[in-house]
Structure 1
Amino acid sequence: MKRIKLRPSKRLVQILSVIVLLVVVSALIELSSLFVTLLLCIPLLIACVDCYFSRFGHNVSIELSTNQNMALYRWQPIKLLLKNKAKQVLRADISIHLTNALELAEAVKSIELEANQQAELSYSMRAHKRGDADISAVELRITSAFGLWQSNWLATHRTQLKVYPDFSRVTSKQHLNGVTNKPINGLKLTKKRGDGIEFHQLREYRQGDSVRQIDWQATSKRRKLISREYQEEQNQHVIVMLDASKKMAIEAKEGSHFDHALNALLLLSHTVLKQGDWFSMQSFNQNVRWLPSVKGAQNVSRVMNHFYDLYPDQSSSDYVVAVNQLIAKRSKRSLVLLVTTLDEQSIDELLPAIKLLQKHHLVALININNRSVSEVLKEPIQKYEDATSYCAALSLLNTHKKNMAKLRKEGVIAIDCNPEQLLPHVLNTYLNVKHSGAL
C-alpha cells in the first residue's frame, strides 16, 4: 500500500482547541510559565510520536471480488475481504475507487478489526453507462494508535468490467406484449412449398394433415398412415442495419432511441440464432461496425461483445453510403432490417438507398417514433403559441404518414413504433418474414 495523505483527526483538533483555551485562561489568572509550557509540550510530544508511527505501512491484506459482467442500471454486490495481520487494532474507513460510469450505494464503510482477524464488507455498485469500466483501487483511511491522525493508504486492485444492456427489463411482460406473429403491413402470409420448407421428421397421421404430407412408403411398411413433418428453412440470413447518428440520441423512457434499439436487436439476434438462421449486423455512420455471418445460439455472446459499448455520434445519417457498404459485404438475398428515426428531411435521402438495397435484399424499415411530436399533440391549447405548435406537430405527423405510405408502395415493409415497443415489432417482422416464405 502507498500512503497518499496525512491529516489531523477531529480528536487532535479538539485537544488543541482545549489547550489553547487553557493557555488563555492561565495567562489571565497568571499561572506559572512552567505549567503553561508543560500544558503545551506534553500533548504536542504525544501528537508527534503518534504521527511518526502512523507513517509506517500497515500489515493489511485486501481481496476484492465481483462479477466482471454487469447489467446497466442494476445493482451488483462487491465483496471486500480484509485481513489485519498486525498486532494492533485496525480502525479504518474504507472506500473503493471507480470510473465515472459506476457508482456505489454507500461510498464509505467503517471497520474496527482486532489483531490477526479478518472481516468481509459488502458494497452495492451499479453502472449508468454501457461499455468498459473498471475498479482501480481500494482506499483505507486509517486512524493512528492514539487516534490523533488519519492517514490515507491506497491499495491498487484493478478489475476490468463490461457493462451490458439489462435484458431483464427488455424481456419483461410489458415489453414482449404483442409478440404473437401478427401479420404486418406489406407482407402477404402464404403456406410455403418446395424450397421454403425442410423435412423434419416422420410421425403418425393427424386429423387435418394434407394428403401431400402422407409418406406412402412408410405407411405401407408400418400399415398405418404416416405423415411427413416439415419445418421452416434454417439457413435464412437476417441483417440488421442500425443507425448510429445523432437522431438516435433522442431521449425516451429508460434510455435513448439508440439504447432501446440496441437492446431489442441483441435480443433479436438471440431469437434468429435459436431458429437456426444466420445473423449479421452493421452499425453505420462515422464509425462503421460490421459483424458478419454468426450462426448457432451458443454464439450470441459474439453479437453482444461486438456492440455492447457502441454509442451514436454527432453526425447525420448517410443511408446511401451505408447501403453501398453493406452490399459490398453481402449481396446474396437476405432480410435487411434498417432501424432508424426518420425526420421530415430523411425520406429524400432514404428512398434512393432503399431502392438500391431492394435490388439485392428484402427490406424492412423500422422507424422509432419521436415522442416529442405526440406529446405536443396531447397538450391542451390555451394560447396562440400552443396552437402554432399543435399545427406544426400535426403537419409533421401527416407528412410522416405520407412518407411511410410511399415506402410501402415501393414494396418496403415499413413499420412505426415507440421505443418501448421496439422489441415485439422487430421480432414480429422477422418471424412473419420467416413463416411467409418471402425470402
Structure 2
Amino acid sequence: MERLTWLVLLTLAPFSLAILTGVVGLAYASFIPASVLVYGILSEPPSGIVVERDVGSRKLAVGGTAEVRVRLVVEGGSGFVFIGDVTSPGLEVVGKNRHVFFKKPGKRLVVEYSYKIHPLKKGSHSLSPVEVIGRDFLGIKDGTYVLAGEEVEIEAYPRVGGIRRLILSKLRTRERRASNHVAPLGPTSTDFREIREYRPGDSLRTINWKATARLGKVLVNEYEPEGRATVMVYLDTTESTAVGSAFHGSLESSLGLVMSLVSLLLRNDFKVGLYLVGSRRIITPRSGVQAVSTFARAVLSAGPSVHHEESLPLAVERSRTSVRGGVAVAVLVTNLTPYNLDDVKNAIERLRTAFDCRVVVVDVNPYGQFGDVPLALSALHKEGLSEGLKASVVHWNPLGEDVGVAVKKVVGGVFSAL
C-alpha cells in the first residue's frame, strides 16, 4: 500500500503543478508513474510456484556441515517472491536461507541457491518446509502462499575424534581371574560361550553347519575371548556437568569424548561398559564394533540428570550387580569442583574395593567459554583439587584441545594406570 500511495502522489503532483503554474509540460512528468500504477493494478501476483530442496546429509556429527540446495521456479504473474525456511535453534546456518526475487512479466523465473547448516549440539534438529510468498508490485492484491516440501529431521551425534589409525598395544590386565591375560589383540579361546545368529564380519569357520541346517538360518559358534580387558566408563550427567552453554557446556563436550573413547576401545578389542550417572542407565561390558551403535544410542539420548539424588558413589554401587567379571580400569568423566570432590573420592575408593581396579578421572573444564582469566583460574584450582585423588587425572579444556587429543590423553592415562 505504501508503494501505491507514492505512485498516486507522483501521478497527481505534476498535474497539480501544471494547473497551478500554467506550465502544461509539467503534466507529461506524470506519464511514467501513471503507467507503473496502471501496470501494478492490472498485473497478477506470482503464481505457478514449484520448489525443490535437497539436503546433503541428514546425519551429521556435531560441528559437521551439510549443504542445502534449493531450486525455485515461478511460471506466471509478476512481482516479488519471498522464499525461505526456518531452522531449529540447534542448527547454525552458514550463508543465507532467505531470499527475495523479482518475477518479471511474461518471463519464467528460475533461480537456484544454496547454504550450509551444521549442528551445534547432539540430538534431533529440524528444517522447516520451504515457505514461499508471492506479492504483486503494489501489494494491493491477495498474495500467493506456498508451503513446499516436508519438515526435514537432522540427527546430530557427538563428534568422534579423528583417531581411526590409533592402534593400542597389548595390555596386561589385573582382572579377578585365575591368571593374568593379555588384551586386546589376542585370539579367541576354545571355551564355548553360545550359538547365535550370523552377523556381518563373522568368520565362515565359526558357522555351525548342523545347527544351521536344522533351524534353517545361519548360526555361528561364539567362544569366550582370550585376553580381553574390561574398561568401565562412568559419565557424570548430574548438576556438576550443567555448566556452560547448551552447545559447548561440560556435558555436551563429555558426550563427544566418551563416544570417541568407547569407539576406540571397541575397535581395539576391549570390553567396554558405560554407566550414565544421574540417568541410571547402564550398558554392561561388551566388545566388538557391532556394539558401537548400542553406545551411540545411549549417548544420543543422554541429557541432564533426571535423578538428582544419584551420586558417583551410588552409581558405582548400583553397577556392581550388573558388571560381571573383573574390571581392569574405570574411567570417571566429570567436572571436578569443590562440591563434588568428596563424591569423586568416595567413588574411587568404592571402585577399588568392588573391582580391585585402577581409576582414571577425566576432568572436563567448561570455563574457557567465559574468558581466558576464568579458564586460567579454574585450571589452577582443578590442579589443586586433583592432587589428593588416588587416581590418574586427565584435565581437558574442550575449547583449547580437540576431542582426538583428549582421547589420546585418556588412553595414556589408562595405560599408565595399569
The offset of 1:128, in angstroms, is 2.4
TM-aligned CA distance change 1:145 to 1:251, over 3 Å: closer
Does residue 302 of structure 1 match 2:287?
A: no
Contact 2:367 2:375 in 1 (8 A): no
Retained in 2: the 8 A contact 1:133–1:162?
yes
> Gapped runs of 5+ residues in structure 1?
1-7, 202-231, 380-389, 408-412
Q: Which residue of 2 aligns with 1:358?
A: 352
Q: Counting helix residues as a fraction of each chain, which structure ranks higher?
A: 1
Q: CA deviation at 1:242?
A: 0.6
CA pair 428-24 structure 1, distance change in 2 beyond 3 A: farther
Q: CA deviation at 1:61?
A: 2.4
In the alignment, is the contact (CA less than 8 A) between 2:97 and 2:114 conserved in 1?
A: no
Match of 2:92 among 92, 95, 103: 103
Partner amino acid, structure 2, of 1:368: D
2:394 to 416, 423, 428: 416
- Aligned partner of 1:274 in structure 2 is 267
Distance 1:402 1:101, change over 3 A: closer
Aligned residue in 2 for 1:69: 59
Moved more, 414-423 or 156-165: 414-423
How many pairs are equivalent? 357
Partner residue, 2:336 = 342
- Equivalent position SS for 2:156: strand
Cα distance in 1 between the residues matched to 2:256 and 2:113: 33
Equivalence for 1:312: 304
Asked whether the 8 Å contact 1:101–1:127 carries over to 2, the reply is: yes
The aligned counterpart of 1:386 is none
Q: What CA distance in whole angstroms lies between the structure 2 residues aligned with 1:90 and 1:233? A: 74
Aligned with 2:82 (options 84, 88, 93): 93
Indicate yes or no: 2:352 matched with 1:368.
no
Deviation at 1:266, TM superposition (A): 0.8
Instruction: String of CA shifts for 1:202-240, please: whole Å, max 9, x gaps.
Output: xxxxxxxxxxxxxxxxxxxxxxxxxxxxxx945433321
1:121 alignment counterpart: 113
Q: Which amino acid aligns with 1:352?
A: N
State TM-score, norm by structure 1: 0.64
Q: CA deviation at 1:78?
A: 0.2
Q: Quote the Cα distance in structure 2 between the aligned partners of 1:135 and 1:377.
A: 36
Unaligned runs of 5+ residues in structure 2 are 189-224
Q: CA deviation at 1:81?
A: 2.7
- Report the CA distance between 1:28 and its aligned residue: 5.1
For residues 71 and 148 of structure 1, do their structure 2 counterparts lie closer, same or farther at Cα, with a shift above 3 Å needed? farther
Aligned to 1:403: 388
Aligned ranges 1:36-435 → 2 under 5 Å: 47=40, 49-50=42-43, 53-54=44-45, 58-66=47-55, 67-84=57-74, 86-88=75-77, 92-104=81-93, 105-111=95-101, 118-144=110-136, 151=143, 153-156=145-148, 157-167=150-160, 170-171=161-162, 195-196=181-182, 200=187, 233=226, 235-251=228-244, 255-285=248-278, 287-308=279-300, 310-312=302-304, 318-334=311-327, 335-361=329-355, 362-368=357-363, 370=365, 396=381, 399-404=384-389, 407=390, 413-419=391-397, 420=401, 421-430=405-414
| Deviation larger for 293-302 or 157-166 | 293-302
- CA distance in 2 between partners of 1:78 and 1:233 (Å): 48
Instruction: Using the TM superposition, give the Cα deviation of residue 15 of structure 1 relative to its aligned residue in structure 2, in angstroms.
Output: 1.4
Q: How much does 1:87 deviate?
A: 4.7
Determine helix, strand or coil for the equivalent of 2:354.
coil
Q: Distance in 1 between matches of 2:383 and 2:4?
A: 73
Larger Rg: 1
* Equivalent residues of 1:247, 1:316 under 8 A apart: no
Name the counterpart of 1:226: none
Kindly indicate whether the alpha-carbon contact (under 8 Å) linking 1:368 and 1:417 is maintained by their aligned counterparts in 2. Answer: yes
Taking structure 2 as the reference length, what is the TM-score of the superposition?
A: 0.67
SS in structure 1 opposite 2:260? helix
* Counterpart-to-counterpart distance in 2, 1:17 and 1:235: 86
Describe the superposition over 1:113-149 as per-residue Cα deviations: whole angstroms up to 9, x where unpaired.
Answer: 7866754321222232321111112122324377876
Q: Is this contact kept in 2: 1:318–1:349, CA < 8 A?
A: yes
AA partner of residue 117 (structure 2): M
Distance of 2:127 and 2:366 partners within structure 1 = 37
SS in 2 for 1:98: coil
Instruction: Give the partner amino acid of 2:353.
Output: K
* Contact 2:235-2:332 at 8 Å conserved across structures: yes
Q: Note if contact 1:269-1:300 (Cα within 8 Å) is conserved in structure 2.
A: yes
AA aligned to 1:424 is K
Seen in structure 2, the aligned counterparts of structure 1 residues 49 and 234 have a Cα distance that, compared at 3 Å, is: farther
Tell me, in whole angstroms, the C-alpha distance in 2 between the residues paired with 1:155 and 1:74.
28
* 8 Å contact kept, 2:49–2:73: yes
Quote the Cα distance in structure 1 between the aligned partners of 2:187 and 2:324: 29
Q: How far has the Cα of 1:342 moved from its partner?
A: 1.9
Cα offset, 1:371, TM superposition: 7.5
CA contact (8 A) 1:135 1:158 kept: yes
Shift of 1:182: 13
Q: Percent identity?
A: 15
CA contact (8 A) 1:331 1:360 kept: no
8 Å CA contact 2:348–2:359 kept in 1: the answer is no
Deviation (angstroms), 1:99? 1.4
Structure 1 residue aligned with 2:195: none
2 CA distance for matches of 1:121 and 1:255? 30
Offset of 1:302 from its aligned partner?
3.4
Q: Does the 8 Å contact 1:260/1:422 carry over to 2?
A: no
